[in-house]
Amino acid sequence: MIVRDLMVRGYRTFTEFQQAGEGIATNILANRLRRLEAAGILRAEGQRQDRRRVSYRLTEKGIDLAPVLLELLIWGARHERTSATAAAADVIERMARHREAVLAEVRRRWAERDVRPLQVGGRWTLL
C-alpha cells in the first residue's frame, strides 16, 4: 500500500500514509517504511524547507514495480466489482488498453520529481 500510495496518490510523508484510510498503526507504518528503505525500494529525504521533516521517494528499484502495480490494479478492477470499485473500473480498463502510456507517464513523473498524483479523490488524472 505504501508503494501504491507513493506511485499513484502522490503521498510523500508519514502523516499522509497514516491518514490514507488503511487504519495502520503508527509503529507498523514506521516499521514498514524502514523495511522498504532497507530493501532499497524507497528512500527518506529531508524536506527542503525543514530538514527535520522527512519525505519518502521511490528509488529506481521501487519505480520498477510500476508494471506489477498496474497489473494488480487491473486485476482488482476486473475481479472485484463492487459499488465502490465500479466507477473506477472503466478508467482501469482504459488504463489496461493503454498500459505503455500509463507506465511512461508514471516513469516521467518519477524522473522529473513531479509529485502530482495519478489519482485525486478517487479520480484518475490520466486518460
Give the residue range(s) of CATH 1.10.10.10 domains in the chain.
1-59
- Say whether domain 1-59 belongs to CATH 1.10.10.10: yes
Residue 119 is predicted with a pLDDT of 63
Chain segment 16-73, per-residue pLDDT in tens? 999 988 888 999 999 999 999 999 999 999 877 776 789 999 999 999 999 999 898 8
Tell which wins on pLDDT, 8 or 126: 8
The yes-or-no verdict on residue 11 having pLDDT over 80 is yes
54, burial (CB in 10 Å: exposed 0-12, middle 13-18, buried 19+): middle
Residue 47 is predicted with a pLDDT of 74
At what angle are helices 83-97 and 66-79 packed, to 10 degrees?
130
Contacts of 70 (CB under 8 A, 6+ apart): 95, 99, 102, 103, 106
Using a pLDDT cut of 90, give the percent of the chain over it. 44
Query: Residue 69 is which amino acid?
Result: L
Indicate the pTM of the whole model: 0.79
Q: Is 64 helix (H, G, I), strand (E, B) or coil?
A: coil
Contacts of 93 (CB under 8 A, 6+ apart): 74, 77
Residue 85 is predicted with a pLDDT of 52
